[in-house]
Amino acid sequence: MQDCPHCGEKIQDEAIFCRYCRRDIDPPMWLTSMQKCSFCAEWIERGLDSCPLCGKELVEKPSVKIPPFTQERPPDFATDFRQRVVFGEEPPEEYPQEAKPSPPPPPPEEETIRVPPFTPQASSEEGVSTLRRSLLDDHDVADGLAGIQASRVESEKIRTDLGALLRRVLPILFGVAFVAAVVILALGPGKDFFLQMTASTPTRTATPPSIITVTVGLTHTTAPEPTETPQPSPVPTKASGCVSWELVSLEDEGEVMCVYGVIRRWFASGDIPFVAIFSEDIGTFAFVDYTQTFPEAKPGTCIIAEALIEVMRGTRPYIDLKGELELCPEGLIEAP
Protein backbone atom coordinates (compact mmCIF):
# COMPACT_ATOMS: atom_id res chain seq x y z
CA MET A 1 0.00 0.00 0.00
CA GLN A 2 1.08 3.58 -0.63
CA ASP A 3 -0.15 7.01 0.49
CA CYS A 4 -2.05 9.23 -1.94
CA PRO A 5 0.10 12.33 -2.68
CA HIS A 6 -3.05 14.52 -2.63
CA CYS A 7 -5.18 13.36 0.34
CA GLY A 8 -2.80 11.00 2.16
CA GLU A 9 -5.19 8.00 2.20
CA LYS A 10 -3.93 4.44 1.75
CA ILE A 11 -4.26 3.15 -1.82
CA GLN A 12 -2.81 0.26 -3.82
CA ASP A 13 0.81 0.46 -4.97
CA GLU A 14 -0.12 0.15 -8.66
CA ALA A 15 -3.07 2.58 -8.46
CA ILE A 16 -3.10 5.54 -10.88
CA PHE A 17 -6.38 7.02 -9.54
CA CYS A 18 -7.34 7.80 -5.92
CA ARG A 19 -10.79 6.55 -4.96
CA TYR A 20 -10.97 8.96 -2.01
CA CYS A 21 -10.12 12.38 -3.50
CA ARG A 22 -11.02 11.32 -7.10
CA ARG A 23 -7.80 12.63 -8.60
CA ASP A 24 -5.27 11.12 -10.99
CA ILE A 25 -1.94 9.88 -9.70
CA ASP A 26 1.27 9.61 -11.68
CA PRO A 27 2.01 5.92 -12.29
CA PRO A 28 4.93 4.50 -10.34
CA MET A 29 8.23 4.31 -12.13
CA TRP A 30 8.34 0.54 -11.92
CA LEU A 31 4.83 0.19 -13.36
CA THR A 32 5.85 1.70 -16.72
CA SER A 33 8.26 -1.15 -17.39
CA MET A 34 6.29 -4.02 -15.83
CA GLN A 35 3.21 -6.04 -16.61
CA LYS A 36 1.23 -8.64 -14.66
CA CYS A 37 1.23 -12.26 -15.88
CA SER A 38 -2.29 -13.42 -16.74
CA PHE A 39 -1.55 -16.93 -15.37
CA CYS A 40 0.47 -16.55 -12.15
CA ALA A 41 -0.42 -12.85 -11.50
CA GLU A 42 3.22 -11.96 -10.86
CA TRP A 43 4.87 -8.75 -12.08
CA ILE A 44 7.27 -9.39 -14.96
CA GLU A 45 8.99 -7.22 -17.55
CA ARG A 46 6.82 -5.79 -20.30
CA GLY A 47 7.22 -7.16 -23.85
CA LEU A 48 7.97 -10.83 -22.99
CA ASP A 49 6.31 -13.60 -24.97
CA SER A 50 6.39 -16.07 -22.06
CA CYS A 51 6.43 -15.70 -18.28
CA PRO A 52 9.88 -16.51 -16.80
CA LEU A 53 8.24 -17.61 -13.52
CA CYS A 54 5.48 -19.98 -14.62
CA GLY A 55 6.62 -20.65 -18.20
CA LYS A 56 3.24 -19.92 -19.77
CA GLU A 57 3.03 -18.23 -23.15
CA LEU A 58 1.50 -14.77 -22.88
CA VAL A 59 0.56 -14.44 -26.56
CA GLU A 60 -1.94 -17.08 -27.66
CA LYS A 61 -2.38 -17.88 -31.34
CA PRO A 62 -5.88 -18.75 -32.56
CA SER A 63 -6.08 -22.44 -33.54
CA VAL A 64 -9.47 -22.31 -35.27
CA LYS A 65 -9.84 -20.29 -38.43
CA ILE A 66 -12.87 -18.02 -38.26
CA PRO A 67 -14.76 -17.88 -41.58
CA PRO A 68 -15.69 -14.47 -42.96
CA PHE A 69 -19.09 -13.07 -42.05
CA THR A 70 -21.76 -13.43 -44.73
CA GLN A 71 -25.20 -11.89 -44.44
CA GLU A 72 -28.19 -13.79 -45.81
CA ARG A 73 -30.73 -12.14 -48.04
CA PRO A 74 -33.76 -10.96 -46.04
CA PRO A 75 -37.10 -12.65 -46.89
CA ASP A 76 -39.59 -10.84 -49.12
CA PHE A 77 -42.68 -10.67 -46.93
CA ALA A 78 -44.70 -8.60 -49.44
CA THR A 79 -44.41 -11.19 -52.24
CA ASP A 80 -45.19 -14.04 -49.87
CA PHE A 81 -48.30 -12.21 -48.62
CA ARG A 82 -49.58 -11.61 -52.18
CA GLN A 83 -49.17 -15.29 -53.05
CA ARG A 84 -51.09 -16.48 -50.00
CA VAL A 85 -53.95 -13.98 -50.04
CA VAL A 86 -56.41 -14.07 -53.02
CA PHE A 87 -58.56 -11.00 -53.46
CA GLY A 88 -62.10 -11.54 -54.87
CA GLU A 89 -63.30 -9.68 -57.97
CA GLU A 90 -67.02 -9.50 -57.03
CA PRO A 91 -68.23 -6.85 -54.61
CA PRO A 92 -69.21 -8.09 -51.15
CA GLU A 93 -72.85 -8.92 -50.52
CA GLU A 94 -74.93 -6.36 -48.70
CA TYR A 95 -75.99 -7.57 -45.33
CA PRO A 96 -79.63 -6.94 -44.32
CA GLN A 97 -79.96 -4.02 -42.02
CA GLU A 98 -81.46 -4.59 -38.65
CA ALA A 99 -84.94 -3.17 -38.04
CA LYS A 100 -84.76 -0.04 -35.99
CA PRO A 101 -87.46 0.57 -33.37
CA SER A 102 -89.98 3.25 -34.21
CA PRO A 103 -89.65 6.48 -32.27
CA PRO A 104 -92.06 6.94 -29.35
CA PRO A 105 -95.20 8.95 -30.06
CA PRO A 106 -95.09 12.61 -29.08
CA PRO A 107 -96.60 13.44 -25.71
CA PRO A 108 -100.23 14.63 -25.89
CA GLU A 109 -100.88 18.29 -25.51
CA GLU A 110 -102.24 19.52 -22.19
CA GLU A 111 -105.99 19.57 -22.25
CA THR A 112 -107.86 22.48 -20.81
CA ILE A 113 -110.14 21.55 -17.97
CA ARG A 114 -113.63 22.34 -18.99
CA VAL A 115 -116.22 23.16 -16.34
CA PRO A 116 -119.57 21.41 -17.13
CA PRO A 117 -122.62 23.66 -17.24
CA PHE A 118 -124.66 23.99 -14.09
CA THR A 119 -128.00 22.19 -14.12
CA PRO A 120 -130.65 23.40 -11.70
CA GLN A 121 -132.11 20.79 -9.35
CA ALA A 122 -135.50 22.46 -8.87
CA SER A 123 -137.86 24.09 -11.31
CA SER A 124 -138.31 27.00 -8.98
CA GLU A 125 -134.84 28.21 -9.82
CA GLU A 126 -135.38 28.29 -13.55
CA GLY A 127 -134.60 31.97 -13.76
CA VAL A 128 -131.29 31.59 -11.94
CA SER A 129 -130.30 28.60 -14.08
CA THR A 130 -131.09 30.48 -17.24
CA LEU A 131 -128.88 33.30 -16.10
CA ARG A 132 -126.05 30.95 -15.26
CA ARG A 133 -126.37 29.15 -18.60
CA SER A 134 -126.19 32.44 -20.42
CA LEU A 135 -123.09 33.37 -18.49
CA LEU A 136 -121.41 30.07 -19.31
CA ASP A 137 -122.18 30.40 -22.98
CA ASP A 138 -120.49 33.77 -23.02
CA HIS A 139 -116.83 33.63 -24.27
CA ASP A 140 -115.62 36.12 -21.71
CA VAL A 141 -116.73 33.87 -18.87
CA ALA A 142 -114.93 30.88 -20.48
CA ASP A 143 -111.75 32.92 -20.73
CA GLY A 144 -112.11 33.82 -17.07
CA LEU A 145 -112.30 30.18 -16.08
CA ALA A 146 -109.16 29.39 -18.11
CA GLY A 147 -107.39 32.25 -16.35
CA ILE A 148 -108.37 30.78 -13.02
CA GLN A 149 -106.82 27.42 -14.02
CA ALA A 150 -103.62 29.13 -15.16
CA SER A 151 -103.43 31.07 -11.93
CA ARG A 152 -103.55 27.79 -10.00
CA VAL A 153 -100.53 26.47 -11.93
CA GLU A 154 -98.64 29.69 -11.36
CA SER A 155 -99.42 29.59 -7.66
CA GLU A 156 -98.00 26.07 -7.42
CA LYS A 157 -94.79 27.26 -9.12
CA ILE A 158 -94.57 30.21 -6.75
CA ARG A 159 -94.91 27.85 -3.78
CA THR A 160 -92.06 25.68 -5.10
CA ASP A 161 -89.81 28.69 -5.68
CA LEU A 162 -90.67 30.06 -2.27
CA GLY A 163 -89.66 26.81 -0.58
CA ALA A 164 -86.26 26.79 -2.34
CA LEU A 165 -85.73 30.43 -1.44
CA LEU A 166 -86.51 29.75 2.21
CA ARG A 167 -84.04 26.86 2.29
CA ARG A 168 -81.32 29.21 1.04
CA VAL A 169 -82.18 32.21 3.19
CA LEU A 170 -82.78 30.44 6.51
CA PRO A 171 -79.10 29.49 7.15
CA ILE A 172 -78.08 33.09 6.48
CA LEU A 173 -80.72 34.37 8.86
CA PHE A 174 -79.63 31.94 11.56
CA GLY A 175 -76.00 33.03 11.13
CA VAL A 176 -76.90 36.70 11.40
CA ALA A 177 -78.98 36.00 14.50
CA PHE A 178 -76.12 34.07 16.11
CA VAL A 179 -73.65 36.88 15.47
CA ALA A 180 -76.09 39.43 16.82
CA ALA A 181 -76.62 37.34 19.97
CA VAL A 182 -72.86 37.08 20.54
CA VAL A 183 -72.43 40.83 20.09
CA ILE A 184 -75.29 41.61 22.47
CA LEU A 185 -73.90 39.17 25.04
CA ALA A 186 -70.42 40.66 24.75
CA LEU A 187 -71.66 44.22 25.17
CA GLY A 188 -74.22 43.35 27.84
CA PRO A 189 -73.98 41.10 30.90
CA GLY A 190 -71.09 39.02 29.56
CA LYS A 191 -68.85 41.98 28.83
CA ASP A 192 -66.45 41.33 31.72
CA PHE A 193 -66.14 37.62 30.93
CA PHE A 194 -65.57 38.32 27.24
CA LEU A 195 -62.86 40.87 28.00
CA GLN A 196 -61.19 38.43 30.40
CA MET A 197 -61.15 35.67 27.79
CA THR A 198 -59.89 37.85 24.97
CA ALA A 199 -57.28 39.70 27.04
CA SER A 200 -53.79 38.82 25.82
CA THR A 201 -51.40 37.66 28.50
CA PRO A 202 -48.01 39.39 28.35
CA THR A 203 -45.27 37.06 27.20
CA ARG A 204 -41.98 37.13 28.94
CA THR A 205 -39.01 37.45 26.67
CA ALA A 206 -36.01 35.60 27.95
CA THR A 207 -32.90 37.71 27.93
CA PRO A 208 -30.14 35.85 26.16
CA PRO A 209 -27.12 35.28 28.35
CA SER A 210 -24.19 37.46 27.61
CA ILE A 211 -21.50 35.66 25.68
CA ILE A 212 -17.99 36.40 26.84
CA THR A 213 -15.51 35.95 24.06
CA VAL A 214 -11.91 35.45 24.98
CA THR A 215 -9.38 36.11 22.27
CA VAL A 216 -6.14 34.29 22.74
CA GLY A 217 -3.24 35.58 20.76
CA LEU A 218 -1.17 32.87 19.17
CA THR A 219 2.30 33.56 17.98
CA HIS A 220 3.29 31.77 14.84
CA THR A 221 6.92 31.50 14.03
CA THR A 222 7.70 30.81 10.41
CA ALA A 223 10.73 28.73 9.78
CA PRO A 224 13.37 30.64 7.86
CA GLU A 225 13.57 29.67 4.24
CA PRO A 226 16.86 28.25 3.10
CA THR A 227 18.81 30.83 1.19
CA GLU A 228 21.23 28.41 -0.42
CA THR A 229 20.49 25.22 -2.30
CA PRO A 230 22.64 22.29 -1.22
CA GLN A 231 25.12 21.70 -3.99
CA PRO A 232 27.11 18.57 -4.54
CA SER A 233 30.70 18.75 -3.56
CA PRO A 234 33.00 19.14 -6.56
CA VAL A 235 35.59 16.76 -5.14
CA PRO A 236 34.23 13.49 -3.67
CA THR A 237 35.77 11.85 -0.66
CA LYS A 238 35.07 8.28 -1.73
CA ALA A 239 36.70 7.81 -5.10
CA SER A 240 38.62 4.64 -4.36
CA GLY A 241 36.71 1.35 -4.36
CA CYS A 242 33.76 2.71 -6.40
CA VAL A 243 32.17 0.74 -9.22
CA SER A 244 30.32 1.84 -12.33
CA TRP A 245 26.53 1.70 -12.40
CA GLU A 246 26.67 -1.03 -15.06
CA LEU A 247 28.22 -3.49 -12.57
CA VAL A 248 25.39 -3.18 -10.02
CA SER A 249 22.87 -6.05 -10.24
CA LEU A 250 19.99 -7.48 -8.24
CA GLU A 251 22.36 -9.80 -6.36
CA ASP A 252 23.99 -6.75 -4.69
CA GLU A 253 20.83 -6.01 -2.65
CA GLY A 254 21.62 -5.23 1.00
CA GLU A 255 25.27 -4.25 0.41
CA VAL A 256 26.77 -0.79 0.90
CA MET A 257 28.51 0.19 -2.33
CA CYS A 258 29.98 3.30 -3.93
CA VAL A 259 28.50 3.75 -7.40
CA TYR A 260 29.23 6.38 -10.04
CA GLY A 261 28.13 7.06 -13.59
CA VAL A 262 27.27 9.65 -16.23
CA ILE A 263 23.64 10.66 -15.78
CA ARG A 264 21.42 10.37 -18.83
CA ARG A 265 18.46 12.29 -17.42
CA TRP A 266 16.50 12.81 -14.22
CA PHE A 267 12.76 13.28 -13.57
CA ALA A 268 10.10 13.24 -10.83
CA SER A 269 7.76 10.26 -10.41
CA GLY A 270 4.74 10.64 -8.09
CA ASP A 271 5.95 11.52 -4.60
CA ILE A 272 9.59 10.95 -5.59
CA PRO A 273 11.05 14.35 -6.59
CA PHE A 274 14.37 13.05 -7.96
CA VAL A 275 14.97 9.91 -10.05
CA ALA A 276 18.25 9.79 -12.00
CA ILE A 277 18.80 7.05 -14.58
CA PHE A 278 21.90 6.18 -16.58
CA SER A 279 20.19 4.15 -19.33
CA GLU A 280 16.72 3.83 -20.87
CA ASP A 281 16.88 0.03 -20.63
CA ILE A 282 14.49 -1.77 -18.29
CA GLY A 283 15.83 -2.83 -14.89
CA THR A 284 19.02 -0.71 -14.90
CA PHE A 285 20.52 1.03 -11.85
CA ALA A 286 19.13 4.41 -10.68
CA PHE A 287 19.69 7.10 -8.02
CA VAL A 288 16.57 8.08 -6.03
CA ASP A 289 16.00 10.87 -3.49
CA TYR A 290 12.71 11.28 -1.59
CA THR A 291 13.56 14.68 -0.05
CA GLN A 292 14.98 17.06 -2.66
CA THR A 293 16.24 17.55 -6.20
CA PHE A 294 19.71 18.32 -7.55
CA PRO A 295 19.55 20.88 -10.38
CA GLU A 296 23.31 20.63 -10.90
CA ALA A 297 22.96 16.98 -11.96
CA LYS A 298 22.42 17.78 -15.60
CA PRO A 299 22.49 15.19 -18.39
CA GLY A 300 26.09 14.24 -19.17
CA THR A 301 27.35 14.99 -15.65
CA CYS A 302 29.21 12.31 -13.68
CA ILE A 303 27.75 11.80 -10.20
CA ILE A 304 28.80 9.49 -7.36
CA ALA A 305 27.18 8.28 -4.12
CA GLU A 306 27.71 5.60 -1.50
CA ALA A 307 24.76 3.96 0.27
CA LEU A 308 22.80 0.75 0.72
CA ILE A 309 21.75 -1.05 -2.47
CA GLU A 310 17.97 -1.59 -2.58
CA VAL A 311 15.72 -3.25 -5.17
CA MET A 312 12.50 -1.65 -6.42
CA ARG A 313 9.74 -4.20 -7.06
CA GLY A 314 12.27 -6.91 -7.67
CA THR A 315 13.34 -5.44 -11.02
CA ARG A 316 15.56 -2.34 -10.59
CA PRO A 317 18.45 -1.80 -8.14
CA TYR A 318 18.77 1.74 -6.75
CA ILE A 319 20.35 3.88 -4.02
CA ASP A 320 18.38 6.27 -1.79
CA LEU A 321 20.60 9.40 -1.73
CA LYS A 322 18.90 11.04 1.30
CA GLY A 323 20.28 14.43 0.29
CA GLU A 324 23.89 13.27 -0.24
CA LEU A 325 25.10 13.44 -3.85
CA GLU A 326 28.56 14.35 -5.08
CA LEU A 327 30.23 15.03 -8.40
CA CYS A 328 32.85 12.66 -9.71
CA PRO A 329 36.50 13.71 -9.25
CA GLU A 330 38.46 14.77 -12.27
CA GLY A 331 39.94 11.89 -14.17
CA LEU A 332 37.54 9.26 -12.78
CA ILE A 333 35.48 9.13 -15.96
CA GLU A 334 35.27 11.23 -19.08
CA ALA A 335 31.83 12.72 -19.70
CA PRO A 336 30.53 12.28 -23.28
Q: How many other CB atoms are found less than 10 A from the CB of residue 297?
A: 20
For residue 93, the model assigns a pLDDT of 63
For residue 221, the model assigns a pLDDT of 37
- pTM greater than 0.75: no
Residue 206 has pLDDT above 80, yes or no: no
Segment 68-110, tens digit of pLDDT:
778 788 877 777 777 776 555 555 566 667 777 777 777 666 5
Pairwise CA distance, residues 57 & 60, whole Å: 7
Beta-carbon contacts of 51 under 8 Å, excluding residues fewer than 6 positions away, are 37, 39, 40, 42, 44, 58
pLDDT higher for 300 or 185? 300
For residue 119, the model assigns a pLDDT of 54
Structural domains present in the chain: 243-327 (2.40.50.140)
Segment 212-243, tens digit of pLDDT:
433 333 333 334 444 444 444 333 344 568 99
Stretch among 179-183, 194-198, 212-216, 312-316 having the lowest mean pLDDT: 212-216
pLDDT grade for 254, boundaries at 50, 70 and 90: very high
Segment 7-65, tens digit of pLDDT:
989 888 778 789 899 898 887 777 777 788 888 878 788 878 888 888 888 776 656 67
pLDDT higher for 160 or 266? 266
Region 120-126: what's the mean pLDDT?
53
The overall longest dimension of the chain from CA atoms, in Å, is 179
For residue 130, the model assigns a pLDDT of 65
Q: 35 near 45, Cβ under 8 Å?
A: yes
Region 251-267: what's the mean pLDDT?
92
DSSP per residue, 262-305: E--EEEEETTEEEEEES-SSTT--EEEESS---TT--TT-EEEE
Residue 331 has pLDDT above 60, yes or no: yes
Could you tell me whether strands 286-289 and 302-312 are parallel, antiparallel, or unpaired per DSSP bridges?
unpaired
Q: 43 near 35, Cβ under 8 Å?
A: yes
Residue 200 has pLDDT above 80, yes or no: no
Give the torsion through C-alpha atoms of 136, 137, 142, 145, to 10 deg.
Answer: 10
pLDDT higher for 117 or 83? 83
Residue 246 has pLDDT above 90, yes or no: yes
